[in-house]
Amino acid sequence: MIDIENITKQFPGKVAVRDLTLQVNDGKIFGFLGPNGAGKSTTIKMMTGILPIDQGRITINGSDMAKQPLETKQKIGYVPDRSDVFLRLKGIEYLNYIADVYHVPTEIRKEKINDLTRSFGIQDALNDHILTYSHGMRQKIVVCGVLLHDPEVWILDEPLTGLDPKSSFTLKEMMREHAKKGKTVFFSTHVLEVVEQLCDEVAIINNGQLEFLGDMAEMKRQFKDDENLEKVFLELTQHE
Ligand SMILES: Nc1ncnc2c1ncn2[C@@H]1O[C@H](COP(=O)(O)OP(=O)(O)OP(=O)(O)O)[C@@H](O)[C@H]1O
């Protein structure tokens, strides 16, 4: 479970996230929807301990990110929106590095790497440097790294952007399976359609503020009734 209580983040001259409160329950796929610049990545960076929180509190399965950062981070699998990490490593070196950091036993490591990279069709690129990978392939290797250590809570920043349709389908299926096991999946997107396909619950953020929190049926009802939300809806459908 992810519990976000009244978090705020300010950059010079800009409040990126203002007094945001939401909970993500176990067994749910939670969509964090908002137009470009709404504050999604900033929120996710606070949830993953990359950015300190100015005010408020975030707990992941009961651990406080600010007070117990190491313990809390071990519960999380995080896929950032830009996967430009470890470019000088080969794919296989990256995955082994992640497996070492998260103490994935050697007996199961090889099989897991094989299965995951096959699912995403990058098994033949493992001996190439990540630097030579396309954006989609970089995204896939990071997703494989996250799934390798089987974290309880998945936090994915725009995970489907840049993926080919087959890999996008594979990842969506994996998200569904993870939630079905009673675990948590939180992901951000600026594409309304993705949320409609996948989510049990949705939060809509705009200009750093929560505009809506609820299930899909409520969201559709409110789009009709609320002028403010209707404007956000138009932005979300115009982008893609
Ligand atoms: N390090 C920073 N310094 C100053 N302003 C920032 C910083 N990071 C983000 N911002 C600003 O905070 C606001 C929210 O940005 P954020 O990246 O969280 O939005 P987003 O919803 O993830 O958008 P996108 O879909 O474009 O990634 C934007 O106005 C952005 O310009």
pTM score: 0.90
50 ligand 1 Cβ < 6 A: no
Which of 41, 156, 206, 211 has most ligand 1 atoms within 8 Å of CB, for mutation? 41
Helix (H) / strand (E) element for 106: namely: helix 106-119
The mean per-residue pLDDT over the stretch 196-223 comes to: 90
Going by CA atoms, what residue is nearest to atom 4 of ligand 1? 11
Q: Are strands 184-189 and 153-157 parallel, antiparallel or unpaired?
A: parallel
Across the chain, mean pLDDT equals 91
Asked if 30 and 176 count as a contact pair (C-beta separation under 8 A), the reply is no
- Name the nearest CA neighbour of 172 among 187, 151, 192, 182: 187
SS3 state of residue 26:
coil
In this structure, how many other beta carbons lie within 10 angstroms of the beta carbon of residue 199? 23
239 ligand 1 Cβ < 6 A: no
206 ligand 1 Cβ < 6 A: no
Residue 209 pLDDT: 94
- Ligand 1 centroid to residue 16 C-alpha, Å: 6
- Ligand 1 centroid to residue 144 C-alpha, Å: 26
37-53 residue pLDDT tens: 899 999 999 999 999 99
In whole angstroms, what is the distance from residue 104 CA to residue 30 CA? 27
- Ligand 1 centroid to residue 156 C-alpha, Å: 16
Helix (H) / strand (E) element for 170: namely: helix 165-180
Decide if the complex's ipTM is over 0.90. Answer: yes
Strands in 14-24's sheet, in edge-to-edge order, are: 14-24, 2-11, 55-60, 63-64
Q: Which atom of ligand 1 is nearest to the CA of 81?
A: 27
Going by CA atoms, what residue is nearest to atom 25 of ligand 1? 36
Asked if 219 and 202 count as a contact pair (C-beta separation under 8 A), the reply is yes
